[in-house]
Chain A
């Protein structure tokens, strides 16, 4: 079977198009590359959607945590503590069994027990908590002078927040937020190894890599392929976030713009 044929059969296998049966023997390098790459669709799906939704919740939570009103502050503090203080792996299991309980007791929410929705919710809440902590830290280190200047111009409340405080917060938080995004994409590999079942073997890259490693008993081919794809994904994330970083700092002279470097000194 030619590589082109394999590509046609398996390129979209992870979302249910193409050949139904996975290869059983005589595994070729082409099959491994195609199928694992096909699984990356799920990693990108989980990562991108969780990040985009999580961004808004994270900002809301950061502002709430910085509020002086305890009715706003306490819930945000607890939310961040619970999701940052416990392993994502346990959160996946807990959410899966919780959704199952809901399904049995109410009859509805059946779709929440499948990975595409349930795991996405967990990842969304998880990344929102981690990012909220980052944004909260940045919010507290907004220079006092900028806020005073806004006061001097007569800005108050929402206008001051939208025009002065929030843009500076984003600028300060961006490098750390980039790291968070990278590690979120890494975390998406956990989905199909926790409670969530892979329906008809439609699953992510690591699931297929594990499948090949189990079948061939040779870990030295599939896992480096996963690594290769993830290095590409990481580079793409850095590229996109770098563009955003440039946009955020476009008012600064060229040499004073903070450079975005992949430096996960503080990892999640």
Chain B
């Protein structure tokens, strides 16, 4: 990157480091931080939407919908989240391919599961065999986001379900006394008021979500953990201009500090939001 970097073997000390840290490979490492932030930015609202759907389903008056909502919450929370990550990444992929297979190749007669193989026609493959590299990466990222949203949606659903029940009964009864329908009560009274009860749980969930992002590595996305392992491993002079020993310890230390700063920052911001929201509410936080 810098002009003096043309012959790294002659450099030493700080200049060597400045050249080392600006190699194109390191650019990939820095971009992967953006991947993590993008994942968070997309997943958080999606998971909230899933959670809202799940919570609404769990308190629905239609029994099958209620059962679905409640079992969605119970199952996802009772099982280790990483098991779900590993499960959904394959299951979602196979589900998409199966649906496309039914739609694109209706004349296909062989079974889809042949022994230990999952076979769909070539036109149903996702992404298509001819697709470019970036399509594969985007598709992998997309399934990862969906997986995160499903898992954290269940946790959000649990929080929102509790928050909906925490809204004072008097509010609902007043709405009914005014002649509002069930739907009106839900949208005009319950939903605006539930957020303050949901916020402690949701902010905790946000922290958990941040701390779950390194699991992207297990889903096959080239995230910060992937790059830290890749760059930190010992390099011999044969393959690189910047030989070094096993530095993975230091790379992971950087990741640790990154996450510490990130969670600390979130904590400060969320505390401020909570203060703002509780102002004037009839809770302990609001009266002081």
Contact = CB atoms under 8 A, between A and B. Distances in A.
A209 interface: yes
Interface in A177-209: 185-187, 189-190, 193, 206, 209
Given A87-B259, A217-B117, A265 B201 contact: yes
A230 B79 contact: yes
A189 B212 CA distance: 14
Given A90-B259, A267-B204, A186 B81 contact: yes
A94 B211 contact: no
B214 A90 contact: yes
B214 A87 contact: yes
Contacts of A27: 116
Contact of B218 (A88, A193, A264): A193
A247 to B, nearest CB: 25
Contact of A82 (B82, B214, B260): B260
Contact of B80 (A98, A206, A220): A206
Interface string B74-101: 0101111111101100110010000000
B79 A219 contact: no
B159 A265 contact: yes
Interface residues of B, number: 50
Contacts of B264: 81, 85
B201 A218 contact: no
Contacts of B210: 87
A42 to B, nearest CB: 13
Contact of A264 (B158, B225, B263): B158
A230 B80 contact: yes
Contacts of A25: 116
Nearest to B155: A267
A231 B256 CA distance: 32
B249 A101 contact: yes
A210 interface: yes
A226 interface: yes
Contact of B204 (A93, A234, A266): A266
A210 B86 contact: yes
Interface string A3-34: 00000000000000000000001010000000
A231 B76 CA distance: 11
Nearest to A43: B80
A213 B84 CA distance: 13
Interface residues on A, range: 35 or more
A2 interface: no
A216 interface: yes
B86 A206 contact: yes
Given A89-B215, A266-B201, A219 B158 contact: no
- In this complex, the member of B204, B212, B214 whose beta carbon has the largest number of chain A beta carbons within 10 angstroms is B214
B113 interface: yes
B255 interface: yes
A82 B255 CA distance: 12
Contact of B211 (A87, A189, A193, A218): A87
Nearest to A230: B79
A89 B214 contact: yes
Contacts of B117: 217
Contacts of A215: 116
A234 B210 CA distance: 25
A52 interface: no
A111 interface: no
A85 B113 CA distance: 44
Given A193-B82, A264-B77, 11 more contacts: A86-B211, A86-B263, A89-B217, A97-B246, A189-B82, A206-B86, A209-B86, A215-B116, A220-B91, A230-B78, A267-B208
